[in-house]
């Protein structure tokens, strides 16, 4: 994502917002101090004390009024504080401008204190300090010119030079402290933005990694489901056909052994009962049996309890007068009841089989729908080393294994075959080798090399440090991929392996304690 730009204007606005509360705290403190300063005025300016008192009261009330109105009149907190500082400055210079030398010297201490306090407590932009200092000089010169009995030299030699100098230093102090806060806030803001960007990038990378892993898994699952669905279709079709043939054959057998039974009546009754469930619960069968017995007794039929229970079991109720009449019109109604019961059981079993077959067929159709859309028959030039790098990544992700794999294959080594099938094959070989070669040697690693011989790409797998691959493993792997002598391998896993490499031509050989994979490289 793009870097979030931190401008000076943005930092200045943010800093001024942070300083707003502090500005009014300083303003209120300055206003409160005006009351004891009024007493100080009375010690040196008794003749002009009353106008000074009004000025002090104005400076006392000013921050309170501004605090409640500055948002309405759209004034910044810095400007409100500047108005108070200028009010105090004007009042102080008005008082000192009427004094003789002795009073002037004592009163200048108060002005020096005011400038120092301003430099220590106030933080604002440089423009406010410049305005405050220039206006203070202008006010003081104007008031000294209009009211002071002292000459310019007397003013400067008795404290004037000191408070002007302290005033300049207060401007510098304010500017330094403001710059320090400004740079600190800017650094913190940039650091926070950098951390946020880093966290966002970390999340993006994790999401991307999860997507890549999901793509790998989805590709394997899609290929597996497609192959498994193909393998399931044949037995499902046979099962479905066999189910139909089974019930038809059973009916023929029963017909031959029940010649006295009216089969038209039997088929009619079965058709009527086809949408009903058989009564399996003891309570339901007994309840319905009692109701059927009452009906038969009223109709003049005396039937054994066993036959009545069979009638209730197949789903016949007392309300089924028509069906009961059809049954008892038959000469050998006992044989018909038993025949209907047997056929109902077979019919129910057949319905269950058909339902399971249909559900399985739906699952197969869904499995087929997620098969890879790319045609494996369309082969492109594939970098062999990249297929191994990808396979190692998938293998480590799936198994968290410590098997060291050293791939000694040139980066420009390319073959003309399916990249997807190659990666699947390498991952499966890594799993078999890791499973069958548990070793205590830390530096033990699987070395993979490749070469071209005639029209084949020859890939060899062997162990380092003079160790050899497990002979049982070699024979086992060779048997699996040759699809012979694989009795020791779990059939389900074996079928998955076979489905992964379906329609992929390669050959595995054992040679000098190495596993050799031969892949046709037809252009």
For 288-318, how does the pLDDT look when each residue is reduced to its tens digit (9 = 90+)? 788 888 878 877 777 888 888 888 888 888 7
Question: pLDDT digits over 208-222, tens only?
Answer: 667 656 665 665 666
Q: What is the CATH number of the domain that holds 457?
A: 3.30.565.10
- What is the rounded average pLDDT of the residues 47-66? 84
Give Cα separations from 475 to 224, 249, 286, 470, 484 (angstroms): 25, 48, 65, 9, 10
The DSSP annotation for 385-415 comes to HHHHHHHHHHHHHHH----EEEEE--TT-EE
Share of the chain above pLDDT 70, in %: 72
What does the pLDDT read at residue 22? 85
Question: pLDDT digits over 465-508, tens only?
Answer: 666 676 666 666 656 565 443 344 444 444 445 555 555 667 77
Phi–psi pair at 344, nearest 5 degrees: -65, -40
Q: Which of 521, 445, 432, 513 is nearest to 479 (CA)?
A: 432
Tell me how far apart the alpha carbons of residues 344 and 338 are, in angstroms, rounded to a whole number.
Answer: 10
What mean pLDDT is reported for the chain? 76
Question: pLDDT digits over 424-479, tens only?
Answer: 778 777 777 776 665 444 455 788 888 888 778 888 888 776 666 766 666 666 56
Q: Same domain, yes or no, for 414 and 326?
A: no
Displacement of CA 163 from its chain's centroid (Å): 64
What does the pLDDT read at residue 142? 92
What does the pLDDT read at residue 236? 65
Cβ atoms of residues 433 and 497 within 8 Å: no
The domain in which residue 508 lies consists of: 380-520
What does the pLDDT read at residue 492? 41
Q: Same domain, yes or no, for 134 and 159?
A: yes
Question: What's 30-44 look like in SS3?
Answer: HHHHHHHHHHHHHHH
Structure tokens at 203: 């999340």
What does the pLDDT read at residue 173? 92
Domain's final residue, options 322, 343, 369: 369
Does the pLDDT value for residue 398 go beyond 80?
no
Does the pLDDT value for residue 110 go beyond 90?
no
Domain's final residue, options 166, 198, 230: 198
Q: Same domain, yes or no, for 292 and 363?
A: yes
Nearest 10 degrees: CA dihedral of 34, 37, 39, 44?
-140
- What is the rounded average pLDDT of the residues 243-252? 63
In angstroms and rounded to an integer, the radius of gyration of the C-alpha atoms of the chain is 50
Does the pLDDT value for residue 134 go beyond 90?
yes
In the chain, % helix, strand, coil (3-state, to 5) comes to 70, 10, 20
- What is the rounded average pLDDT of the residues 68-74? 87
Most confident of 81-95, 192-206, 307-321, 343-357: 81-95
pLDDT category at 156 given cuts 50, 70, 90 is confident
Q: Same domain, yes or no, for 499 and 420?
A: yes
Angle at 192 between CA 190 and CA 198, to 5 degrees: 100
Q: Is residue 230 part of a domain?
A: no
Tell me how far apart the alpha carbons of residues 208 and 405 are, in angstroms, rounded to a whole number.
Answer: 25
Residue 142 or residue 369, greater confidence: 142
pLDDT category at 375 given cuts 50, 70, 90 is very low
Structure tokens at 146: 């209009």
Q: Same domain, yes or no, for 15 and 83?
A: yes
Domain's final residue, options 330, 348, 369: 369
Does the pLDDT value for residue 130 go beyond 70?
yes
Q: Which residue has the tokens 């079993």?
A: 349
Q: Same domain, yes or no, for 188 and 268?
A: no
Sheet holding 514-520, edge to edge: 404-408, 445-453, 456-463, 514-520, 507-511
What does the pLDDT read at residue 384? 83
Does the pLDDT value for residue 371 go beyond 70?
no
Q: Is residue 133 part of a domain?
A: yes
- What is the rounded average pLDDT of the residues 385-404? 73
Structure tokens at 100: 């003789």
Cβ atoms of residues 56 and 37 within 8 Å: yes
Does the pLDDT value for residue 415 go beyond 80?
no
Tell me how far apart the alpha carbons of residues 328 and 317 are, in angstroms, rounded to a whole number.
Answer: 15
What does the pLDDT read at residue 460? 85
Q: Mean pLDDT lowest for which of 15-29, 101-115, 327-341?
A: 327-341
pLDDT category at 373 given cuts 50, 70, 90 is very low
What does the pLDDT read at residue 244? 64
Q: Is residue 405 part of a domain?
A: yes
Q: Which strand (E) or helix (H) includes residue 185?
A: helix 161-257
Q: Same domain, yes or no, for 363 and 392?
A: no
Q: Which residue has the tokens 């002037």?
A: 104
What does the pLDDT read at residue 176? 92
What does the pLDDT read at residue 262? 76
Strand partners, 450: 459
Does the pLDDT value for residue 19 go beyond 80?
yes
Q: Which is it for strands 514-520 and 507-511: parallel, antiparallel or unpaired? A: antiparallel
Cβ atoms of residues 87 and 25 within 8 Å: no
Instruction: Tell the burial category of 202 from Cβ atoms under 10 Å away from its Cβ (0-12, 13-18, 19+).
Output: exposed
**474 CB-side CA count, 13 A:** 17
Angle at 413 between CA 409 and CA 417, to 5 degrees: 115
Q: Is residue 235 part of a domain?
A: no
The answer to whether the Cα torsion of 36, 39, 45, 46 is positive or negative is positive
Q: Which residue has the tokens 């120092």?
A: 116
- What is the rounded average pLDDT of the residues 265-275? 79
Go through 11-50 and write b for each residue having 16 or more CB atoms within 10 A of its CB, e for each that does not: beeebbeebbeebbebbbebbebbeebbebbeebbeebbe
Tell me how far apart the alpha carbons of residues 390 and 118 are, in angstroms, rounded to a whole number.
Answer: 68
Q: Which residue has the tokens 């997507």?
A: 211
Q: Same domain, yes or no, for 288 and 395?
A: no
How much is the pTM?
Answer: 0.42
Q: Is residue 246 part of a domain?
A: no
Q: Looking at beta carbons, which pairs linking 440-445 to residues 24 or more positions away fall under 8 Å?
A: 441/465, 441/467, 443/404, 444/404, 445/403, 445/404, 445/405, 445/406
Cβ atoms of residues 459 and 449 within 8 Å: yes
Q: Is residue 113 part of a domain?
A: yes
pLDDT category at 422 given cuts 50, 70, 90 is confident
Cβ count near 253 (within 10 Å): 9
Q: Same domain, yes or no, for 309 and 455?
A: no
Instruction: Tally the domains of the chain.
Output: 3
Q: Is residue 244 part of a domain?
A: no
Does the pLDDT value for residue 412 go beyond 90?
no
Question: pLDDT digits over 325-354, tens only?
Answer: 778 877 777 888 888 888 877 777 777 777
Share of the chain above pLDDT 90, in %: 4
Q: Is residue 217 part of a domain?
A: no
Q: Same domain, yes or no, for 413 and 286?
A: no
Cβ atoms of residues 405 and 390 within 8 Å: no
What does the pLDDT read at residue 480? 59
Cβ count near 392 (within 10 Å): 19
What does the pLDDT read at residue 214? 67
Q: Same domain, yes or no, for 421 and 345?
A: no
Q: Same domain, yes or no, for 329 and 412?
A: no
Q: Which residue has the tokens 């990378």?
A: 205
Cβ atoms of residues 11 and 186 within 8 Å: yes
């Amino acid at each position: 994502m793009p870097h979030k730009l931190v401008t000076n204007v943005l930092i200045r606005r943010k800093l001024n917002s942070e300083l707003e509360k502090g500005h009014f705290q300083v303003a209120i403190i300055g206003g409160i101090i005006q009351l004891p300063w009024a007493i100080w005025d009375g010690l040196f300016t008794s003749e002009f004390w009353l106008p000074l008192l009004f000025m002090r009261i104005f400076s006392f009330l000013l921050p309170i009024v501004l605090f409640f109105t500055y948002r309405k009149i759209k004034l910044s907190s810095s400007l409100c504080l500047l108005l108070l500082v200028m009010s105090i400055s004007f009042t102080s210079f008005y008082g000192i401008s009427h004094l003789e030398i002795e009073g002037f010297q004592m009163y200048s201490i108060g002005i020096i204190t005011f400038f120092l306090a301003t430099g220590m407590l106030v933080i604002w932009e440089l423009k406010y300090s410049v305005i405050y200092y220039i206006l203070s000089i202008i006010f003081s010169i104007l008031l000294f010119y209009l009211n002071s009995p002292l000459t310019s030299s007397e003013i400067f030699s008795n404290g004037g030079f000191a408070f002007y100098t302290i005033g300049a230093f207060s401007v510098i102090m304010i500017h330094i402290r403001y710059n320090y806060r400004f740079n600190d806030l800017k650094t913190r803001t940039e650091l926070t933005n950098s951390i946020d960007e880093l966290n966002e990038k970390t999340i993006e990378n994790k999401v991307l990694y999860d997507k890549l892993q999901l793509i790998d898994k989805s590709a394997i699952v899609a290929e597996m489901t497609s192959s498994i669905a193909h393998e399931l279709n044949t037995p499902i079709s046979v099962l479905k056909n066999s189910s139909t043939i089974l019930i038809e054959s059973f009916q023929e057998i029963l017909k031959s052994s029940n010649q006295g039974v009216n089969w038209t009546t039997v088929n009619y009754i079965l058709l009527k009962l086809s949408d009903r469930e058989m009564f399996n619960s003891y309570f339901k069968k007994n309840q319905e049996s009692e109701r059927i017995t009452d009906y038969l007794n009223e109709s003049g039929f005396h039937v054994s309890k066993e036959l009545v229970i069979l009638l209730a079991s197949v789903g016949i109720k007392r309300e089924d007068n028509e069906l009961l009449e059809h049954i008892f019109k038959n000469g050998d109604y006992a044989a018909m009841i038993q025949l209907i019961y047997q056929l109902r059981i077979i019919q129910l079993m057949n319905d269950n089989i058909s339902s399971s077959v249909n559900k399985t067929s739906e699952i197969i159709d869904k499995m087929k729908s997620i098969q890879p859309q790319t045609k494996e028959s369309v082969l492109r030039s594939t970098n062999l080393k990249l297929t191994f790098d990808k396979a190692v990544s998938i293998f480590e992700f799936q198994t968290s294994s410590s098997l060291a794999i050293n791939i000694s294959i040139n980066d420009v080594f390319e073959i003309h075959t399916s990249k997807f099938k190659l990666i699947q094959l390498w991952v499966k070989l890594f799993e078999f080798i890791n499973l069958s070669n548990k070793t205590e040697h830390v530096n033990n690693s699987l070395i993979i090399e490749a070469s071209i011989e005639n029209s084949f790409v020859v890939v060899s797998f062997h162990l380092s440090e003079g160790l050899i691959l497990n002979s049982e493993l070699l024979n086992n792997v060779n048997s699996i991929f040759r699809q012979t002598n694989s009795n020791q391998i779990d059939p389900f896993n074996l079928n998955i392996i076979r489905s992964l490499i379906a329609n992929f031509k390669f050959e595995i050989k054992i040679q000098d304690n190495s596993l050799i994979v031969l892949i046709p490289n037809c252009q």
